[in-house]
């Protein structure tokens, strides 16, 4: 479906839970968020119904995210079911990697090949600190496992945080030299309950790119491959197996090419990550709406998808994005 700003909206990100087995400082308060009761979380069959209807208006790609999607019981069968929906040609997963080594094979069998693993430090102590308790080695084992099973692409998402991991930028970039990993630096965004913590910790990707560029010869890749380009500006260290991407929602908005909708864990449809307008699909689903009604609601989310957001990392905007990232899905 082409929207009024000529964007082809073909991508749905689905948060299957707002719960998580980590408590990343920039994403969740330490006591967790779980404000949403079990009953308020969409059931798998409700999500499947929404996805199937969304394919009628041009959704072809689905990313499963959270919270931590691998903590929700039955996730592998659910993923297989989504992949089986006619019209879905691409299904991918974003995970913190803690449960990845035990799920890798089952996920592969369920049809997942494209996986994003979030990892903000390569130092065990710092990783434990930023995630409030996560074990780095567990995640590294998960990445190793998906690599040996042949998942591709394997993207490693790094939120760049001032005075926390800015000294590890080159270490992360080096991960791409021998392995075909795609390391993607993501700018810290002012969202949800943990957002005030993020004030002053924002690091522009311009600085990250400069640091890598000062140490390595970089070739630019945008335009060489279309299908999974998304919002990332992509580079390769000369001769490297993998690539480096920069996702800069704060310093350099990519709204003009944004092709996505987001379904939150509590069943609300959002046309922009950073603006709080949502459509309550769950309410309509549970009061017996027809498929045609549901399709109209999805169409209205597309019709109202804004041209862009004006979010940056100042205090005013922190107050604007009140929903937590774990419920929206990153």
Query: What's the rounded Cα separation, in Å, for the pair 161 and 283?
Result: 38
Among 41, 75, 265, 325, binds ligand SAM (CB under 6 A): 325
Query: What's the rounded Cα separation, in Å, for the pair 155 and 169?
Result: 16
Among 9, 12, 20, 321, binds ligand SF4 (CB under 6 A): 20
Considering the rule CB under 6 A, would residue 193 count as an interface residue with ligand SF4? no
DSSP lists the bridge partners of residue 245 as: 184, 234
Residue nearest to ligand SAM (CB): 330
Cβ partners under 8 Å of residue 63, min gap 6: 11, 12, 13, 14, 91, 92, 93, 94, 329
Determine contact, residues 280/274, Cβ cutoff 8 Å: no
The interface region with ligand SAM, picked from 37-45, 182-190, 207-215, 297-305 by CB under 6 A, is 182-190
Query: What's the rounded Cα separation, in Å, for the pair 90 and 54?
Result: 14
| Token pair recorded at residue 68 | 């931590």
Nearest-approach distance from CB 189 to ligand SAM, in angstroms: 4
Query: What's the rounded Cα separation, in Å, for the pair 18 and 1?
Result: 28
Among 92, 205, 326, 327, binds ligand SF4 (CB under 6 A): 326
The DSSP secondary structure of 236-296, one letter per residue, reads EETT-SSEEEEE-TTTS--GGG--EEEE-TTSEEES-TTS--EEEHHHHHHTT--HHHHHH
- Residue 274 binding: pick among ligand SAM, ligand SF4, none (C-beta 5-8 Å cut-off by kind): none
Query: What's the rounded Cα separation, in Å, for the pair 215 and 232?
Result: 21
- Whichever of 186 and 258 has its CB closer to ligand SAM, that residue is 186
Determine contact, residues 62/321, Cβ cutoff 8 Å: no
- Residue 65 binding: pick among ligand SAM, ligand SF4, none (C-beta 5-8 Å cut-off by kind): ligand SAM
Q: Which of residues 95-114 bind ligand SF4 (CB under 6 A)?
A: 96
The DSSP secondary structure of 101-145, one letter per residue, reads HHHHHHHHHTT--EEEEE---SSHHHHHHHHTS--HHHHHHHHHH
User: Rounded to the nearest 5 degrees, what angle is found at the Cα of 32, between the Cα atoms of 93 and 19?
Assistant: 30
Considering the rule CB under 6 A, would residue 22 count as an interface residue with ligand SF4? yes
Nearest-approach distance from CB 3 to ligand SF4, in angstroms: 28
Nearest-approach distance from CB 21 to ligand SAM, in angstroms: 9
Among 26, 44, 78, 185, binds ligand SAM (CB under 6 A): 26
Among 16, 28, 161, 269, binds ligand SF4 (CB under 6 A): 28
Nearest-approach distance from CB 327 to ligand SAM, in angstroms: 9
Q: Which of residues 34-93 bind ligand SF4 (CB under 6 A)?
A: 66-68
Determine contact, residues 94/118, Cβ cutoff 8 Å: yes
Binding mask 57-96 for ligand SAM (x = CB under 6 A): --------xxxx-------------------------xxx
The interface region with ligand SF4, picked from 23-31, 121-129, 230-238, 314-322 by CB under 6 A, is 23-31
Footprint of ligand SAM on this chain (CB under 6 A)? Answer: 20, 26-27, 65-68, 94-96, 118, 157, 159, 186, 188-189, 191, 198, 325-326, 329-330
Footprint of ligand SF4 on this chain (CB under 6 A)? Answer: 20, 22-24, 27-28, 66-68, 96, 118, 325-326
């Amino acid at each position: 479906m082409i929207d009024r700003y000529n964007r082809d909206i073909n991508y749905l990100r689905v948060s299957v839970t707002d719960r998580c087995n980590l408590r990343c400082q920039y994403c969740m308060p330490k006591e967790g968020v779980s404000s949403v009761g079990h009953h308020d979380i969409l059931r798998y069959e409700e999500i499947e119904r929404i996805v199937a209807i969304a394919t009628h208006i041009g959704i072809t790609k689905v990313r499963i995210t959270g919270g931590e999607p691998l903590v929700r019981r039955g996730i592998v069968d659910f993923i297989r079911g989504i992949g089986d929906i006619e019209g879905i040609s691409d299904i991918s997963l974003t995970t913190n990697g803690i449960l990845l080594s035990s799920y890798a094979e089952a996920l592969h069998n369920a049809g997942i090949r494209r996986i994003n693993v979030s990892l903000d430090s390569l130092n065990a102590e710092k990783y434990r600190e930023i995630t409030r308790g996560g074990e780095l080695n567990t995640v590294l084992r998960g990445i190793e496992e998906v690599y040996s099973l042949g998942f591709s692409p394997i993207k490693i998402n790094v939120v760049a945080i001032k005075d926390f991991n800015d000294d590890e930028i080159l270490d992360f970039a080096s991960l791409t030299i021998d392995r075909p990993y795609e390391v993607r630096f993501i700018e810290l965004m002012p969202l949800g309950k943990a957002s005030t913590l993020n004030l002053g910790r924002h690091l522009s990707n311009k600085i990250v790119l400069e640091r890598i560029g000062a140490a390595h010869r970089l070739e630019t890749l945008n335009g060489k491959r279309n299908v999974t380009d998304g919002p990332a500006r992509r580079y390769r260290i000369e001769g490297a197996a993998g690539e480096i991407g920069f996702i800069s929602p704060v310093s350099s908005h990519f709204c003009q090419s944004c092709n996505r909708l987001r379904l939150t864990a509590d069943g609300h449809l959002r046309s922009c990550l950073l603006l709080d307008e949502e459509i309550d699909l769950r309410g309509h689903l549970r009061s017996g709406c027809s498929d045609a009604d549901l399709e109209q609601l999805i169409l209205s989310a597309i019709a109202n998808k804004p041209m862009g957001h004006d979010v940056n990392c100042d205090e005013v905007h922190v107050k604007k994005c009140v929903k937590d990232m774990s419920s929206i899905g990153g």
